[in-house]
Structure 1
């Protein structure tokens, strides 16, 4: 096929690479990328009907080859890191939503490098409805990743509108308030420890 692995395969405008990544076939994705010839940026940045690029799909892969897959995609086009889907989610945000810690950490580092550490990072950590990566990790009940995000010095040092733990979503809720509304956050004991540790860092505590 002329477009090789970027050939549009479905009525939802998924390419072959979209489907391979969505199906969690990391080795197949790597093989397809290796065989992919140079192509215009507009093909590498093809989105499906949900607005997801191939890097959005790679961000949901399990550990193992996930970082290698993302690394190969970014080598071909760094702008994939910036692209948002229909919900306003970057690949970094999507990794947080699916609780994929390994690829989240990699994408965070690459996104920071792309923006020289600070510039324009708001859109990487917050989608259009004001939900942040910390909000979504808690809403998706990925409490371990949420704690890592809350404690991650890279995000604390960013020049964001306000610290992640104090950022409010469109309903006016901080991450701590969302956490307090989730019964599963209080069990087992280690999660109660998370509540205590994140609350000590929330500037909106008691608001």
Structure 2
């Protein structure tokens, strides 16, 4: 029994190493293929990730090949945090892979993780605009269900907290007004969070940061105006320093929101 378990763990280690191999050698792809055909929903790491979870982050082209196979793919399999492989594809903007997943299992778009985050939420939180647009068309969210997580943060909160203001504007335009005035557990709307951006306000204005924070009435027009204000601000201002993450100098990726913001730690950090 111990020998069998040891062999199984060794095989999973080999599959995991092949799945994260960005070089994409053909010889190790065969290891992935053989394991996947026999164990599509079997975890290959200590986080409960399946082959597709890992490939979605590291080798999306191989994941797309696997989904062409005529077999049961087990796409609704979740890791220990409740994430499906579509969650992982959503946060890196793997649109081709996401389309294949939804084609195989359309209900996957509405599955949330343990803290109530859907793939749509992750697309908003990571500024993946094209992915967000695709999932928004495929999802079945007619009310706040699926648009907010367990602590009340909505997809609009997520986009604002990530400073993806062009995506935030699209969310305001796409969804009914109730989303703009939805509060989290701390009774804060997305506008309250937006008000924490100090470069939006000038002292003495009617809607100063303090006034907005104390207001119980949030005009939708004001929210749109503030988002437009963010969009009009250049990414780099020589008089105010760099407004972007100094450790991230990459150009926006395909499908990513055009204004790259700082990642906020508002995801679940609990371990298995």
Q: Provide the TM-score with structure 2 as the length reference.
A: 0.58
Query: 1: distance between equivalents of 2:200 and 2:114?
Result: 29
CA RMSD of aligned residues (A): 2.4
Aligned residue-pair number: 173
Displacement after TM superposition at 1:185 (Å): 5.6
Residue 92 (1) aligns with residue 96 (2): no
1:178 matches 2:193: yes
Determine the structure 2 residue equivalent to 1:19.
Answer: 54
State the 1:8 CA deviation: 2.0
TM-score where L is the length of structure 1:
0.75
Deviation (angstroms), 1:58:
1.0
Any idea what SS the aligned residue of 2:91 has?
coil
Tell me which protein shows more helix as a share of its residues. 1
In structure 2, C-alpha distance between the alignment counterparts of 1:3 and 1:85, rounded to whole Å: 26
Say whether 1:38 aligns with 2:38: no
For residues 51 and 3 of structure 1, what CA distance do their matches in structure 2 show? 22
Contact 1:5 1:32 in 2 (8 A): no
Q: Is the 8 A contact 2:86 2:98 kept in 1?
A: yes
Aligned to 1:167: 182
Q: 1:49 aligns with which of 67, 80, 83?
A: 80
CA shift in 2, pair 1:184/1:73, >3 Å: farther
Q: Render the CA deviation track for 1:10-42: whole Å, top value 9, x for unaligned.
A: 11111111001122x32222112113x3217xx
Larger Cα-atom Rg: 2
For 2:196 and 2:96, locate their aligned partners in 1 and report how far apart those are by CA, in whole Å.
37
1:200 aligns with 2:234: no
Distance 1:32 1:4, change over 3 A: farther
